[in-house]
Amino acid sequence: MKKLSTFLALAVLLALVVPAGAGWVDLTTNFQAAGFSGNMSLITDTSTGTLYGIQGNAIRSYDASTDAWTDLMASTYGGATAYTRSYYVGGNFYLKDNGAFVQVYDIANDSWSKTDMPVAPSGGYAHQQGSTYDTQNGLLHCMQTIFPAGGGEVYAVASLDVATGFWSSVTEYAWPTGYAHYGASQSVTVGTVNYIGDATGQNLSMKMYDFNSAPTVFPEGTTARTATGDVGDNLSQVWSNQFEALIGTDIYVTGGDLSRVFAVYHTTTDKWEVLDDQIRTSGAYRNHSSAAVGSVVYVQSGGTFYAYDTIPEPATMSLLVIGGVGLLIRRRRS
């Protein structure tokens, strides 16, 4: 009977004292007050669990306990735009956008540096076609489009060794044949496998690239795909410009390009789960980013900023406890 009383007390405490979760939480007010307006990149220092926002030349750290942003050293190299893809590696943030260079932010020293991509044989670079970090070999693969003087389109890839600062030579592919498109979404890596978002009609999927067993020249061998997830009419415009936020082995996908996609891909079971509608704001065309801290997914869409806690809300947990109490009562009566 004593155990039963304890369960009941816990259920009452959770149901009455702890407020229920609210799904998406709007954090836009302080976000805009700090100076953010969109066209930016959210990124997490996974060693400390600190969220950062980079917009233009400005970089700010976020304190979730007070919903406050702190200004840090501004970049002199362009900062972040709507096309920036960012990665945390060994105390640094690596940013790659449309420019043919990588910006590096040293978190401990609050300082910036820049390293230029090597010259491509076919001429000057145009816009980027994505980037991804190779966790197995310590390489940041950067992909750019080139429009040669003689016409046509070329896809170029060069890889930065983050430990030495040296670049590989440029590998070029004809567009759009061969391996000429890995994807422009923000990618994440689970174990040795890199995942990058894609979409066809109403179906989400991901391309997979195993850095442990794939060919040595990235992005060759990128035909492997995950299972697909049907998001119904949530996908209002078909682009592969999604953003992925990693929590454990689960990848939470939010859709840029005016879509309302919010789904999770479970890498251990190769299954998709459509969650809640993503907060949708006008004018958010490719103006979108996301990152995770702990169990919370943070999403910037246009000039708005929201958080979504992925763990069961307290009210749901209290119901589970009450359900357990009911089961104990039935067992005692039987």
Structure tokens at 26: 């709007």
CA 13: distance to chain centroid?
A: 36
Q: 220 or 296: whose pLDDT is higher? A: 296
Cα end-to-end distance, the chain, whole Å: 15
Q: What percent of the chain has pLDDT over 70?
A: 77
Strand partners, 291: 298
pLDDT per position as a tens digit, 246-288: 999 999 988 655 466 788 999 999 999 888 666 654 444 456 7
Environment class of residue 85 by beta-carbon count within 10 Å: exposed (0-12), middle (13-18) or buried (19+)?
buried
Report the pLDDT averaged over residues 112-134.
Answer: 89
3-state secondary structure at position 7: helix
- Give the model's pLDDT for residue 138: 94
Structure tokens at 107: 């978190």
Neighbour count for residue 141 (Cβ, 10 Å): 24
Structure tokens at 180: 């000429």
Phi, psi of 100 (to 5 degrees): -85, 55
Domain spans of the chain, in order of start: 1-20+314-334, 22-312
Give the Cα separation of 262 and 150 in Å (integer). 43
pLDDT per position as a tens digit, 24-36: 899 999 999 999 9
Give the Cα separation of 249 and 106 in Å (integer). 27
- Give the model's pLDDT for residue 241: 58
Give the Cα separation of 286 and 82 in Å (integer). 6
- Give the model's pLDDT for residue 9: 47
334 has a pLDDT exceeding 80: no
| C-alpha dist (Å) from residue 235 to 149, 187, 292 | 37, 19, 22
**pLDDT confidence tier of residue 319, bands split at 50, 70 and 90:** very low
- Give the model's pLDDT for residue 8: 44
108 has a pLDDT exceeding 90: yes
84 has a pLDDT exceeding 70: yes
Give the Cα separation of 153 and 173 in Å (integer). 9
- Give the model's pLDDT for residue 233: 62
Give the Cα separation of 92 and 170 in Å (integer). 24
The second-level CATH assignment, the architecture, of 22-312 is 6 Propeller (2.120)
39 has a pLDDT exceeding 90: no
Give the Cα separation of 272 and 264 in Å (integer). 6
pLDDT per position as a tens digit, 142-191: 998 898 888 888 889 999 999 999 999 999 988 777 777 777 778 899 99
Amino acid at 64: A
235 has a pLDDT exceeding 70: no
The mean of the pLDDT values for the chain is 80
234 has a pLDDT exceeding 60: no
20 has a pLDDT exceeding 70: no
85 touches 78 (CB < 8 A): no
